[in-house]
């Protein structure tokens, strides 16, 4: 990079900021150098160069279009439950759909339910139980927003997010809005290809059946109990590695004797070996060092290359591993 490049980039950020200040509705939030750690479940990492919570679809479009026009990168933040934020932060525009505008839960006459991308899965499950709509119970303990769950095709208790999806509404990073049926999308284990380069606005979901709200709540409670017994309570980003073919990452890490391994404030959870927890004061550097240590030990002992399931926000794992 030439010496002039950082100055040019700073100028592009200032320009973007002034263009957006004149355009966004007063209810939309725009802030420089907003701390991201507290907005994630792992609670590590630095600030976003620019941070926005649009209150309308028009404002979201403006944020995307103005950044795109200047070649500045945009990153979506959901509940931050699958993210490790670098200690020096994210050199990009981080957009969160935290404004109530994005939290709709609307049963429709055709039997589908519209769920906004900012709606928390916990709330989705509660509202569905209240409406007597069955099929979403498996999502209750996943601490995600609908947008993040779609991007990751999050799953639990034998169910996957896309099992209940009929259609996704999205906007591309260039600002084009589109509706896509599930069959048109490329969805896999913890992955939805289309949402790698687009923002989910929400989805039409299809309940499996109508059922008694009490019966739905009992199923939710049974899943909650199972989760409480199997998962640590400390801050984490959930499972740190994807399951390798034919086995579970947690089992392999445990068999390598790594439960309780520590670097600074980061620890391989003694409760579930595929969770790295923040025991207090952990940094992103601690997490990365422990990830490298676990991968090296598992490779040496079992010949398996563990792939991270969590995302390194704004960066690529291959650049740091
Ligand atoms: C205690 C704990 C338990 C967990 N249990 C499970 C589990 O059982 N099953 C499971 O699958 N996961 C689990 N996870 C991981 C995590 O909850 C999921 O990966 C979840 O889907 C992340 O959603 P999020 O809203 O937090 O997204 P974030 O972590 O904020 O973001 C994840 C990705 O989604 C993208 N994204 C977010 N919103 C949008 C949007 N609107 N449009 C496009 N892209 C978007 C982000 O840019 C990022 O790439 C767990 C995590 C924790 C901390």
Ordered domains of the chain (ranges, CATH): 4-100 (3.30.43.10), 103-214 (3.30.465.10), 232-319 (3.90.78.10)
What is the overall mean pLDDT for the chain?
96
Whether the per-residue pLDDT at 2 is higher than 80: the answer is: no
- pLDDT over 80 at 228, yes or no: yes
The confidence score (pLDDT) of residue 173 equals 86
Closest residue by CA, ligand 1 atom 5? 142
CA atoms 116, 119, 121, 126: torsion sign: negative
Q: What is the arithmetic mean of pLDDT over 285-293?
A: 98
Q: Give the mean pLDDT of 102-115.
A: 97
Q: Which atom of ligand 1 is nearest to the CA of 190?
A: 11
In terms of average pLDDT, the best of 4-13, 77-86, 167-176 is 77-86
pLDDT band at residue 5, thresholds of 50, 70 and 90?
confident
CA of 145 from ligand 1 middle (Å) equals 7
Cα angle 221-227-229, degrees, rounded to a multiple of 5: 105
CA of 4 to the centre of ligand 1 (A): 37
C-alpha span between 209 and 164 (Å, rounded): 11
> In ligand 1, which atom is closest to the CA atom of 41?
53
Q: How does residue 32 score in pLDDT terms, banded at 50, 70 and 90?
A: very high
- Top pLDDT among 229 and 273 is at 273
pLDDT score recorded for residue 312: 98
Q: Is it the case that residue 1 has pLDDT exceeding 50?
A: no
Which residues, including other chains, have CB under 8 Å from residue 119's CB and lie 6 or more apart? 102, 103, 104, 105, 145, 146, 202
**Closest-lying ligand 1 atom to the alpha carbon of residue 154:** 11
Q: What is the pLDDT of residue 132?
A: 97
As a whole number, mean pLDDT of residues 31-49 equals: 98
Q: Tell whether the model's pLDDT for residue 127 goes beyond 80.
A: yes
- Determine the average pLDDT of the residues in 73-97: 98
Specify the ligand 1 atom closest to the Cα of 310.
19
Q: How far is the CA of 152 from the centre of ligand 1 (A)?
A: 6
Asked which of 85-94, 222-231, 279-288 is least confident by mean pLDDT, the reply is 222-231
**CA–CA dist 134, 79 (Å, integer):** 24
Q: Is residue 151 over pLDDT 60?
A: yes
CA pseudo-torsion sign 290, 291, 293, 298: positive
Residue 261's pLDDT is 98
Q: For residue 186, what are the CA distances in angstroms to 3, 21, 53, 283?
A: 41, 36, 28, 34
CA-proximal residue: ligand 1, atom 21 (nearest): 149
pLDDT given at position 22: 87
Residues contacting ligand 1 via CB (< 6 Å): 41, 75-83, 97, 117, 142-145, 147-149, 151-152, 154-156, 195, 199-200, 231, 236-238, 311
Q: How much is the pLDDT for 124? A: 98
pLDDT band at 4 (very low <50, low <70, confident <90, very high): low
């Amino acid at each position: 990079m030439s010496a002039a490049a950082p100055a040019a980039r700073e100028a592009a950020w200032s320009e973007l900021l002034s263009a957006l200040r004149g355009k966004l509705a007063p209810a939309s939030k725009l802030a420089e150098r907003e701390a991201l750690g507290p907005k994630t479940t792992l609670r590590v990492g630095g600030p976003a160069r620019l941070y926005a919570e649009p209150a309308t679809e028009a404002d979201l479009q403006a944020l995307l279009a103005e950044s795109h026009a200047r070649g500045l990168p945009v990153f979506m933040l959901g509940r931050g439950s699958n993210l490790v934020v670098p200690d020096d932060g994210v050199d990009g525009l981080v957009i969160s759909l935290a404004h109530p505008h994005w939290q709709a839960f609307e049963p429709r006459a055709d039997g589908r339910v519209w769920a906004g991308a900012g709606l928390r899965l916990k709330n989705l499950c509660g509202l569905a139980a209240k409406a007597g709509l069955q099929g979403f119970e498996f999502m209750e303990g996943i601490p995600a927003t609908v947008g993040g769950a779609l991007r990751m095709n999050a799953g639990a208790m034998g169910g996957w997010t896309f099992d209940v999806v009929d259609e996704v509404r999205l906007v591309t990073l260039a600002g084009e809005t589109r509706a896509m049926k599930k069959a048109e999308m490329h969805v896999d284990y913890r992955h939805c290809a289309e949402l790698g380069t687009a923002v989910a606005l929400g989805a039409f979901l299809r309940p499996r059946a109508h059922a008694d709200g009490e019966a739905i709540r009992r199923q939710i409670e049974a899943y909650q109990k199972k989760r409480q017994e199997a998962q640590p309570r400390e801050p984490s980003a959930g499972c740190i590695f994807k399951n390798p073919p034919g086995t579970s990452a947690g089992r392999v890490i445990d068999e390598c004797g790594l439960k309780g391994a520590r670097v600074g404030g980061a620890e391989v959870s003694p409760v579930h070996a595929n969770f790295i927890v923040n025991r207090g004061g952990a940094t992103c550097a601690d997490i990365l060092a422990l990830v490298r240590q676990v991968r090296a030990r598992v490779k040496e002992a079992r010949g398996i290359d563990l792939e991270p399931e969590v995302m390194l926000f704004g960066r690529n794992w291959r650049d740091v591993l």
